[in-house]
Each structure stands twice: as C-alpha cells, then as structure tokens.
C-alpha cells in the first residue's frame, strides 16, 4: 500500500526519469551527431514514418549533421562507403518480420544468416546473369516489351498514364516479366488481360505501411486494437495473387529457366506452400521496384531539361537499330557478329541512363535496417553497441558526397563516364543494396529496364503532359518498400520519331 502513496509514486517516477535521461546521456550513441530530441525519444522518427516521410526526414538530417546521424535513442543512419561496407557485410534484422508470407519465412524475411544463405544458394542460380540472358528468358522480356510498345503506338495522339492506365502501365510490364521468370508458361498477361491486371493491383497497391509499422513497433497495441487500426490502416490481403502463386507452384512442367522449376527440385525438400510464399515475395519485390524506377526515369527523360539526354539515347539506339538480338540468336561467324547491332546490355549510353535513373530515383530509396551484432561495432568512427539499429539509404548515399556526385540533384548520365571517382561512385551506388542480402533480381531488373527503354526510345520521343501533371505530382513518396509518385500518376505523350 505504501508503494501507492502519491509521494512515493512521484519519487519513483522522478527516479525512473532521471535514470532514463542518465542512460541516454551515457549511451555511446550520445556522441553521434543528431537533433537533441533523438537522444531521448523515437517519437519524431515514428511520426515521420507513419506519414511516409522517413526517407526525406533522414536525408535532411544528413544534410544538416553529416554522413552519420543519430535518428532515435537506439538508431543511427549512415551514408558513406565505409558504413555500407561495415553494415551490409553481415545482416539479419527483426524488421523483416513485417514481411512473413503464409506464416513462412521467405529468403527476405529469414533472420538467421545460415538459413538465408541456404535459401539464396538455391535461388541464386536462376537470377544469375547467365540464366537471365538465356534465349528463352530474354525472349520473354522482349515479347512483353513488344506488347507495351504496341499499346504506346495505339496511344499516339493522346497522353497515357504509364503509372496506372488500364492495361498499359509499367507495373503490368514488370509483373508480366517477373512472373514469366518465376513461372513460365504460367505467368501473367496483365498487359492484355484485365483479370491479370487485377492481380497486379492487389500486389502493388499495398496500403498496409502504417498497419505493419504499428504491428512491428507496438505489437501489444496492435494485438489489442487490431480491428480498430485496420479501419484506417488496412492489413494486406492478396487472394488473387495467392491463387496465381499457389497454382503455379503446383504445376509440374514450368520452363527450365524459371525460379519455380529450381525450387521444385526434390533435393531441396521445399513444400508447395514454401515455394508459393517465396515466389509471392519475389513477385511483390519485382513489380513496384522495376515499374516505378522506369516511371521516374521516363518522366525525367521527357523533361525539356533532359531533351539532350533523350536525343543522345535515341541516337545510340538508332545506330544499333534493327530487331533486338538475344544471345541465343547471335550465332554465326565473327564477321556476321560484327555486323550485328549491339545488344541492349552492350550500349554504354543506355547503361549510363539507367544507372543515373536509379541514382536519382532509386526504387527503394529508404533505409535498409540491420541490428548491430553482439559486442558492438565501430562504424564510420563511432562505436555503436550491439542491438542498436543501423542503416544506410540509397537516397542519401547517392547524394551526400558532392565530390563523387557533383550537383547531385541534376540528372546527368554523363557522370558515369568520368574517370575521376569511378570506384567511389560504384561503392556509393546502393540502389540494389549489397552484401549477402543485396537484390537477387538485379540482373533481371536491369534487363527489363534496358529492353523497354530500347524499344520505346528507338521509336518515340516522350514528352510530359503538363495539362494534367505538375512537378509535385512526381515527388517520391515512401511506400512499404519502394517509392512511387506522390499523385500516383505519370502522364506522357508518345511522339513517333519519324513524324517529328
Ligand atoms: C529496379 C528494380 C529493383 C530494385 C531497385 C531493387 C532493390 C532491392 C534492394 C535495395 C534490396 C535489398 C532489400 C534489403 O536489404 O532490405 C532488394 C532485395 C530483393 N530483391 Fe530487389 N530490386 C529490384 C528488382 C527486383 C526484381 C525484378 C526482383 C525479382 C525477383 C527482386 C527481388 C528481390 C528479392 C527476392 C530480394 C531479397 C533478397 C534477400 O533477402 O537476400 N528485386 N532489392
């Protein structure tokens, strides 16, 4: 009873508060630069996350405090070559509980390093560039790029919304390409079939960011108030996509280059639900990312300020025009090969355009959090204790060092040809992350992006439709993993090159 007396309660509260303040001041993270409040509370960070502004908030802090910044009492954001190397050389983070599928841990949500490596060993073979470049795999991408192009051709005379227009949008293109690589011949055809487009929308328009963040940071509140939270922050449900992956995982004859074919090999001992869960994850990972990266890039290429870039790209493509040649088709003698146009992955300016697009508009611009292992680590000169959360975000690593990326806000593909700082540029390029948990779909994504750009800019000049769009509409807005245009639209006009 004595414990409940007001003076005792007041003394206990004051003692608790004093202990808390002392522990914050005594923490090694106190030495890391950052706003004063971040040493005591994570509430400001949580508020920015719930408003989908984490990326820009952290970037502002980097601009103010430098490449190492304390963002909450237990969390530090970094943006340097050394920190990328130190943090992503080892990995595993409870954050990925947010992404469990059918109650299973997929490669992405696996916390244990060895389990992750084991799953990656199974999958890596199908995402290796040699497999992505196989004729059957690459021809599928050409075919889907051709379908997208047909729709562009049909749109001439009016603008199209490459973000959401029915059937003709970049999410459909990315969906059809990734599901081709996962399941062929049981992939989607959302560029032509409205029912398949519905599946894409279910996976893509995922408004569960807030719900998942509350579940992760405040599990007790989420358990107690789950149904109330769902009223304003919906949980994620994807019944149509579930049907597609479960059905594809049960087929016994997918093409040899596909991911599902590899996972079905008996030696791996994976059941159908595990295979379906893994594939659903890859499908989700491969739609918004590639689709939105292309969307931001095509918007930028269409700007009057980027017209010289667009012209140079068209010229390179024109010089290598004719039908696109895949490695499977490129047999014949040396003489014949010399006469052939360069393939999509041999064009230096196209490559620079894609790199610069991913630098300026990384599809996953936000932090990739990791726990510091037991014993702590020194990162960028600061000791960070074990259990603290550390991260880098591509949005900042692509901008913060202005010796390496002069005028970082300017879209300038030519910067990728400069001899100076070449190594640093590559090391700070973080669009696909790196280390053991870097993007497994990188080669597939690059092939999809380059092939589509080659198809479009060989035939069209793209222009922005400012009658329906403003620059603010295209500001990057955080989603659960990737970032998309704030207004969820991107209207462009396609002008055939031969009528210009
Ligand atoms: C431009 C397109 C893409 C970008 C910018 C991108 C970026 C990334 C990044 C930054 C990560 C690391 C996430 C983390 O560490 O938290 C990642 C992981 C991953 N990505 Fe991509 N991605 C793209 C396309 C794709 C595609 C087409 C696939 C197809 C399957 C894919 C599949 C995955 C998977 C499965 C992981 C998890 C890897 C692991 O846990 O080891 N991504 N991606």
**5 and 141 assigned to the same domain:** no
Q: Is 368 in the pocket of ligand 1 (CB under 6 A)?
A: yes
Q: Does residue 493 carry a pLDDT above 50?
A: yes
* Per-residue pLDDT, 283: 95
**22 and 57 assigned to the same domain:** no
Which of 285, 295, 390, 437, when mutated, tests ligand 1's pocket best, judged by the most ligand atoms within 8 Å of its CB?
A: 285
Q: Is 293 in the pocket of ligand 1 (CB under 6 A)?
A: yes
Strand partners, 494: 462
The residue with tokens 């596909």 is: 258
> In angstroms, what is the span from residue 496 Cα to ligand 1's centroid?
34
Least reliable range by pLDDT among 6-15, 94-103, 226-235, 376-385: 226-235
| Residue 72: its H or E element | strand 68-72
Tell me the per-residue pLDDT of 307-332, one tens digit each, with 9 for 90 and over.
Answer: 999 999 999 999 987 654 555 555 54
Predicted TM-score of the model (pTM): 0.89
**152 and 93 assigned to the same domain:** yes
**176 and 214 assigned to the same domain:** yes
Buried b / exposed e across 484-495, counting CB within 10 Å, b at 16+? bbeeebbbbbbe
Distance CA 416, CA 348 (A): 10
**376 and 417 assigned to the same domain:** yes
Q: Is 441 in the pocket of ligand 1 (CB under 6 A)?
A: yes
**247 and 325 assigned to the same domain:** yes
Peptide bond into 185 cis (omega under 30): yes
Q: Is 474 in the pocket of ligand 1 (CB under 6 A)?
A: no
> In angstroms, what is the span from residue 362 Cα to ligand 1's centroid?
12
Mean pLDDT of 381-393: 95
Structure tokens at 165: 């227009």
Distance CA 498, CA 172 (A): 27
Mean pLDDT of 125-137: 97
Tell me the per-residue pLDDT of 26-54, one tens digit each, with 9 for 90 and over.
Answer: 899 999 999 999 999 999 999 998 888 89
**102 and 211 assigned to the same domain:** yes
Q: What are φ and ψ of residue 311, in 5° steps?
A: -65, -40
Characterise 435 by phi-psi region: left (phi > 0), alpha (psi -120 to 50), beta (else): left
Distance CA 124, CA 118 (A): 10
Q: What range defines the domain where residue 3 resides?
A: 1-30
Least reliable range by pLDDT among 19-23, 182-186, 356-360: 19-23
* Per-residue pLDDT, 12: 83
Q: Is 439 in the pocket of ligand 1 (CB under 6 A)?
A: yes
**57 and 2 assigned to the same domain:** no
The domain total for the chain is: 2
Q: Whose CA is nearest to atom 24 of ligand 1?
A: 286
Least reliable range by pLDDT among 108-117, 137-146, 210-219, 470-479: 210-219
**16 and 116 assigned to the same domain:** no
Show binding-site residues: 439
Q: Does residue 298 carry a pLDDT above 90?
A: yes
Any idea what the CATH number is for the domain that residue 161 is in?
1.10.630.10
Show binding-site residues for heme: 439
> In angstroms, what is the span from residue 439 Cα to ligand 1's centroid?
4
Which one is predicted more confidently, 217 or 191?
191
**296 and 388 assigned to the same domain:** yes
Distance CA 460, CA 492 (A): 11
Q: How many CA atoms lie within 13 A of 225 on its CB side?
A: 13
**26 and 57 assigned to the same domain:** no
Structure tokens at 149: 């192009």
Structure tokens at 338: 């010399």
Distance CA 372, CA 225 (A): 31
> In angstroms, what is the span from residue 281 Cα to ligand 1's centroid?
10
Closest to 414 in 3D by CA, of 293, 308, 318: 308
Distance CA 388, CA 191 (A): 45
Q: Give the chain's radius of gyration (CA, Å).
A: 24
**105 and 6 assigned to the same domain:** no
* Per-residue pLDDT, 92: 44
Q: Does residue 94 carry a pLDDT above 50?
A: no
Distance CA 441, CA 250 (A): 23
Q: Does residue 289 carry a pLDDT above 60?
A: yes
* Per-residue pLDDT, 219: 64
Q: What are φ and ψ of residue 307, in 5° steps?
A: -65, -35
Mean pLDDT of 212-230: 60
Neighbouring residues of 155: CB distance < 8 A, sequence distance ≥ 6: 168, 494
């Amino acid at each position: 009873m004595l414990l409940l007396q007001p003076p005792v309660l007041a003394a206990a509260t004051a003692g608790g508060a004093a202990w808390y303040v002392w522990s914050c001041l005594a923490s090694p993270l106190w030495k890391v630069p950052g706003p004063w409040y971040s040493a005591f509370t994570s509430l400001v960070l949580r508020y920015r996350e719930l408003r989908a502004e984490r990326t820009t908030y952290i970037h502002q802090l980097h601009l103010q405090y430098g490449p190492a910044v304390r963002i909450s009492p237990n969390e530090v954001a970094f943006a340097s070559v050394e920190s990328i190397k130190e943090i992503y050389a080892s990995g595993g983070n409870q954050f990925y509980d947010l992404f469990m599928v059918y109650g299973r841990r997929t490669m992405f949500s696996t916390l244990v390093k060895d389990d992750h490596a084991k799953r990656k060993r199974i999958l890596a073979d199908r995402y290796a560039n040699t497999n992505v470049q196989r004729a059957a795999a690459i021809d599928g991408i050409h075919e889907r790029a051709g379908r997208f192009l047909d729709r562009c051709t049909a749109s001439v005379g009016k603008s199209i919304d490459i973000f959401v227009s029915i059937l003709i949008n970049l999410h459909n293109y990315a969906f059809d390409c990734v599901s081709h690589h996962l399941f062929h011949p049981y992939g989607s055809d959302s560029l032509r079939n409205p029912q398949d487009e519905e599946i894409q929308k279910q996976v893509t328009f995922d408004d569960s960011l807030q719900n998942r963040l509350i579940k992760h940071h405040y599990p007790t509140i989420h358990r107690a108030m789950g149904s109330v939270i769902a009223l304003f922050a919906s949980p994620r449900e994807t019944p149509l996509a579930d049907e597609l992956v479960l059905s594809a995982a049960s087929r016994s004859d997918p093409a040899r280059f596909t991911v599902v074919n590899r996972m079905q090999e008996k030696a791996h001992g994976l059941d159908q639900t595990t295979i379906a869960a893994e594939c659903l994850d890859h499908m989700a990972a491969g739609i918004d990312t590639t689709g939105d990266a292309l969307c931001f890039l095509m918007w930028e290429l269409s700007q009057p300020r980027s017209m010289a870039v667009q012209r140079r790209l068209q010229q390179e493509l024109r010089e290598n025009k004719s039908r696109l040649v895949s490695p499977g088709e490129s047999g014949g003698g040396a003489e014949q090969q010399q006469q052939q146009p360069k393939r999509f992955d041999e064009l230096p300016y196209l490559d620079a355009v894609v790199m610069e697009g991913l630098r300026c508009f990384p599809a996953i611009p936000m932090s990739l959090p990791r726990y510091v292992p037991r014993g702590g680590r020194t990162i960028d000169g600061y000791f960070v204790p074990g259990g603290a959360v550390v991260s880098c975000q591509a949005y900042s690593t692509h901008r913060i060092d202005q010796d390496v990326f002069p005028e970082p806000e300017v879209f300038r593909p030519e910067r990728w040809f400069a001899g100076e700082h070449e190594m640093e540029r590559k090391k700070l390029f973080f669009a696909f992350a790196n280390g053991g948990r870097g993007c497994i779909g990188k080669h597939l994504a690059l092939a999809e992006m380059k092939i589509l750009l080659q198809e479009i800019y060989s035939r069209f000049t793209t222009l922005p439709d400012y009658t329906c769009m403003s620059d603010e509409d295209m500001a990057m807005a955080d989603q659960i993993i990737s970032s998309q245009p704030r207004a969820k639209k991107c209207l462009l006009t396609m002008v055939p090159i031969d009528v210009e």
